[in-house]
Structure 1
């Protein structure tokens, strides 16, 4: 099996630790363990006592009953039996693809998006058609284009909703039409839903709640600000969940007692976390909008209160070379768009801590002035 290097992860692995102002990531400003433990109204002492008495055995293989109960609350029609704990959303996506895709299958993937969703099927011998997003359509793809791509033997359609890197969302109306198209050929839909839009009035249901062959993946890493626990989940119908169980035995045993405990605690107090994160997203997006209005060399199709955005750079330099110089000279980290096969753009992770964003944008503007 051969696979391409993972462009974004390769970039971050090399350069992330050199950043002074990291505005490349796509999580909402990560919480400290102290903040996490203090989500409990009785404070952290009670939780620490409970944690210190935990046996460091394998724990619950598929995730604890408490974990599954909390995850089920995130969906409309899901039972705990349909939920499997994974090693992040990356592990959930891999499990779906590993379990279902075989050589010769036809897969359609949103593009660009999280590279895993199109390059892993290719590595398994599938033929992958790319369903391209369009900047002039608010970074959404065309459903008419999808109809042209679908074949009688299409086995799976992969989406990332909201999209990484653009922050574009497929709302209920769009998703319902997508389901209609997939259902005509009996295709699965894998939906990486790690970016929850934190905007009032936006209706973005999980694909598992819309479609029997829908598979939803998610984790704590982005919307819930706890990438450090590396816990995700995959949700599907019961028949698919049993299939995933079989393949999951070959990829992981458990997420770990500590990680399960912290994840369950965060989900039990998700309203506090989401209130915190709505404030961060709203405040930081306003800062970005003000910056864009005064920065002539950058434009942006604004995301829907999603923690990733994709800026367009008006510069006479290759994007990756520009980003390396920016990091070395100003300490500012972006992800160059060519890592998403989109040169001329860059991923701006605007939901970092506000002071980091403000200083990073200031330094980026200073750097851009050399092209004036």
Structure 2
């Protein structure tokens, strides 16, 4: 099996530790362990008293009953038994593709998006077509284009909602049309949903709640600000979940006992987590909007209160070369858009801690003045 290098991860592996102002990431500013404990209803003593009693065995293979119950509350039509714990959303996406895709299958993937969603199916011998997002259409894809691409034998449509790197959201009306297109040929829809929009009065349904063959993946890494716990999950109908169980035995045994405990604690206090993160996203996005308005070399299709955005840079330089020089000269880390097959752009993770964002944007503007 041959597979290309993972463009974004390869970039971050090389350059992330050199950053003074890391505004490349796509998580909402990560919690410290102290902050996670404090956001719940236990004292530090109570938290660690429970944790220290945990037996260091394999724990619950599919995730503890408490974890699965908390995850099921995120959905409208999903029972705890339809939840399987994974190693992050990356593990969930891999599991779904590994279990369902065979050589010769037809897969349609949003593009650009998280590279897993198209390069893993291709590595397995699938025939993968790209459903392109369009900057002119606020980074949304065209449903009529999808109708032309769909085939009677299309096995799966892969989406990322909200989109990485652009932060664009497919809303409910759009998703329902997508479901009807998939239903016309019986295709699965695999939806990576790690970026929950945090706008007030904007509720985006999970694909598993809209479609009998919808598969939702998610994790604690982005919206819930705990990427270090490395816990995710996949939610699907009961029949598909049973298929996943068989394949999951070949990809992992379980997440760690401590990881499950911390993930469950975070989800049990998710309303407090989301309240903190809504405030941070709103404040940071307003900072970015003001910065873009005053920065003549940058334009942006603004994201929907999710933690990633995709700026367009008016510079006479290849984007990866620019990002390397920016990092070396100013300590500012972005992800160059060529890592998403979109030159001239860069991923701006604006949901870093606010002081990091402000200082990073100031340094970026200073660096851009050389081109005036």
Q: Same fold (TM over 0.5)?
A: yes
In 2, Cα distance between equivalents of 1:159 and 1:204: 14
Residue 198 of structure 1 pairs with residue 198 of structure 2: yes
Runs of 5+ consecutive residues of structure 2 not aligned to the other structure: none
Give how far 1:98 is off: 0.3
Give how far 1:239 is off: 0.5
Counterpart of 1:185 in 2: which secondary structure?
coil
Give how far 1:43 is off: 1.8
Q: Residues 334-349 of structure 1 correspond to what in structure 2 (within 5 A)?
A: 334-349=334-349
In 2, Cα distance between equivalents of 1:232 and 1:96: 13
**Per-residue displacement from partner, 1:37-81 (whole Å, max 9, x unpaired)?**
112223221111000111111100000000000000000000011
Residue 258 of structure 1 pairs with residue 249 of structure 2: no
Runs of 5+ consecutive residues of structure 1 not aligned to the other structure: none
2:235 match:
235
2:80 match:
80
**Per-residue displacement from partner, 1:259-297 (whole Å, max 9, x unpaired)?**
000000000000000000000000000000000010000
Residue 209 of structure 1 pairs with residue 198 of structure 2: no
In 2, Cα distance between equivalents of 1:330 and 1:150: 46
**Per-residue displacement from partner, 1:75-130 (whole Å, max 9, x unpaired)?**
00000110000000000000000000000000000000000000000000000000
1:108 match:
108
1:4 match:
4
In 1, Cα distance between equivalents of 2:152 and 2:203: 30
Number of corresponding residues: 372
Counterpart of 1:151 in 2: which secondary structure?
coil
Counterpart of 2:156 in 1: which secondary structure?
strand
In 2, Cα distance between equivalents of 1:28 and 1:43: 24
Give how far 1:24 is off: 0.1
1:154 match:
154
1:296 match:
296
Residue 330 of structure 1 pairs with residue 326 of structure 2: no
1:177 match:
177
Q: State the TM-score, normalizing by the size of structure 2.
A: 1.00
1:277 match:
277
**Per-residue displacement from partner, 1:327-352 (whole Å, max 9, x unpaired)?**
00000000000000000000000000
Q: State the TM-score, normalizing by the size of structure 1.
A: 1.00
Counterpart of 1:196 in 2: which secondary structure?
coil
Give how far 1:203 is off: 2.8
In 2, Cα distance between equivalents of 1:224 and 1:43: 20
Give how far 1:151 is off: 0.4
Counterpart of 2:343 in 1: which secondary structure?
coil
